[in-house]
Amino acid sequence: MLFSTLAIASLAASVFALPSSQEHFAAAPAAHSDGTDITTYAQYSANWAGAALRGHAGTIKEVTATIKIPTIHRPVDQPDGEYNASIWLGVDGDTCSSASARIGLDVTVNASGVIGQGWYSSNPGRRSYLTGPFNAGDSVKLRVTVNNATSGSLSMLLSDETNGKGASIGLSSSVPLCAQDALWVVEDPERNGALEPLADFTSVLFDTATVTLTTGEKIGPQGARAIEMYQGRAITYVDVQPSSVRITYL
């Protein structure tokens, strides 16, 4: 669930032409508080940080990236306890709010250390967990493939290339997919309607981030809208590059 967002006022320098290989996409305009659309290429969220690439309905076939599980920490000046961060990628769930498909890891730090738990979801809020644990420093490949948007047929992959763990999953969403949003996100997880304490995740890099279009063309995240996390202060800095998305904890 993406909490309500506050749009960042756009700068004149934000107006740019996308490369021809990304002609299907434009940075999605954020919703203004009065319901109108304004042209802006970043927004604030209470619980998401990352990048969102928007296409026309039925445009996106597959979203992939490789991450390194971070060694997360208790934030400075925060009390002892459990702190969390969720790292995932997916299709839909941004401009298309009716359905989503996601796969990723929940990373937790407490008195026992750092542990990662793999999961996937074909509907917001309904996660299925994978056999783990997955460890800090592991290199993990993530992939969501839309086999048929109308029927909701999906394939997902979480492959820990360090220890050989992971799963390849075939499933169906209970509702049709729009196949129009590609997302790479670090999330402050929600439990019982409230945000959990967010860990200091230092930096998360979605490397070799790729979107495969239904035409077969492959593009990167360049031109995606950056989503910055704000919780009374700016929590993150997002850097979107032609083949990667880096989210840095401030």
From first to last of its 250 residues, what are the pLDDT tens digits of the chain? 554 333 322 222 222 222 223 333 334 334 323 332 323 367 899 999 999 999 999 999 999 999 999 999 999 999 999 999 999 999 999 999 999 999 999 999 999 999 999 999 998 668 999 988 899 999 999 999 999 999 999 999 999 999 999 999 999 998 999 999 999 999 999 988 899 999 999 999 999 999 999 999 999 999 999 999 999 999 999 999 999 999 999 9
Looking at the annotation, which residues are catalytic? Answer: 187
| Sequence-separated (6 or more) residues with CB below 8 Å from residue 237 | 228, 247, 248, 250
Residue-wise pLDDT for 92-139, tens only, equals 999 999 999 999 999 999 999 999 999 999 986 689 999 888 999 999
This prediction has a pTM of 0.84
Element (H, E) at 49: strand 48-54
Token readout for 215 is 């035409």
Residue-wise pLDDT for 174-199, tens only, equals 899 999 999 999 999 998 889 999 99
- Contact (CB, 8 A) for 84 and 198: yes
Token readout for 207 is 């490397």
Instruction: List the domain boundaries for the chain.
Output: 23-249
- CATH code assigned to 23-249: 2.60.120.700
Residue 123 CA from chain centroid, whole number: 14
CA–CA dist 113, 58 (Å, integer): 42
Strand partners, 60: 213
CA–CA dist 71, 186 (Å, integer): 14
Is cis: bond before 133, omega within 30 of 0? Answer: yes
